[in-house]
């Protein structure tokens, strides 16, 4: 349950930041969004993996690093976090007129600056869902964001598996045994 709550909170913070910064019209929205995403990944990554994005969740599943039974709860937590965040952002900001703008974060900031003006830049289905709830993106286009983002996540997972055939569940660092003295932990 902790990992689902973490996904809810992280997606909430991301979508709330997207909604508030874009509706307020700040030109530094991509920077704020990237910072919010970075903070949430650091805060919750060790609990849930810090996906905050249904496409990332799909990619992690396809890499074989997630149980299929966790996918739907992750997606529900992410979309519910987006729903609550979008409602709250709209309540807090509530501008009379909003232009669709770039949505992004971290490495996504580059994409937001590059193609945000053309695509709306919602590289995350949960962010696109939240953006639609606050009126930043037209509902009739949701399928585009859903399909493109999930296909992108799947392609990224396939490329990662191809490029990293020896990727392991535990990562590349040696496991630390709690029974070993502290002085021996550094040499594994």
In sequence order, what DSSP letters do the residues of 2-32 get, joined into one string?
HHHHHHHHHHHHHHHHHHHHHHHT-TTHHHH
CATH label of the domain that carries residue 16 = 1.20.1080.10
Buried b (16+ CB within 10 A) or exposed e, 154-177: bebbeeeeeeeeeeeeeeeeeeee
Q: What is the pLDDT of residue 169?
A: 56
What is the distance between the alpha carbons of residues 43 and 173, in angstroms, rounded to a whole number? 20
Q: What pLDDT shows up at residue 14?
A: 92
Contacts of 80 by beta carbon, 8 Å cutoff, 6+ apart: 8
42-86 pLDDT tens trace: 888 888 999 999 989 999 999 889 999 999 999 999 999 999 988
Closest CA to 150 of 166, 164, 171, 129: 129
Number of domains in the chain: 1
Task: Tally the C-alpha atoms within 13 A of residue 136's C-alpha that lie toward its C-beta.
Answer: 32
Contact status, residue 94 vs residue 85, Cβ threshold 8 Å: no
pLDDT of residue 11: 94
The model carries a pTM of 0.57
Smallest CA-to-CA distance from 104 within 75, 60, 65, 136 is with 136
d(CA 19, CA 119) in angstroms, rounded, equals 17
Assess contact for 85 and 91: CB atoms under 8 A.
Answer: no
In the predicted model, residues of the chain with pLDDT beneath 70 are 94-123, 159, 163-164, 167-188
For residue 137, the enclosing domain spans 2-184
């Amino acid at each position: 349950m902790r990992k689902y709550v973490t996904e809810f909170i992280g997606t909430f913070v991301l979508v709330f930041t997207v909604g508030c910064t874009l509706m307020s019209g700040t030109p530094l929205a991509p920077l704020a969004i990237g910072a919010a995403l970075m903070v949430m990944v650091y805060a919750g990554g060790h609990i849930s993996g810090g996906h905050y994005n249904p496409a990332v969740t799909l990619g992690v599943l396809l890499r074989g690093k997630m149980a299929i039974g966790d996918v739907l709860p992750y997606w529900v937590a992410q979309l519910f976090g987006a729903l609550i965040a979008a409602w709250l952002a709209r309540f807090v900001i509530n501008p009379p007129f909003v232009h669709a703008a770039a949505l992004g974060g971290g490495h996504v900031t580059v994409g937001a600056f590059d193609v945000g003006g053309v695509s709306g830049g919602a590289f995350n289905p949960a962010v696109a869902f939240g953006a639609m709830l606050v009126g930043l993106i037209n509902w009739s286009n949701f399928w585009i964001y859903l399909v493109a983002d999930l296909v992108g996540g799947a392609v990224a997972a396939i490329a990662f598996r191809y490029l990293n055939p020896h990727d392991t569940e535990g990562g590349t660092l040696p496991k630390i045994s709690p029974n070993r003295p502290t002085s021996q932990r550094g040499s594994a």
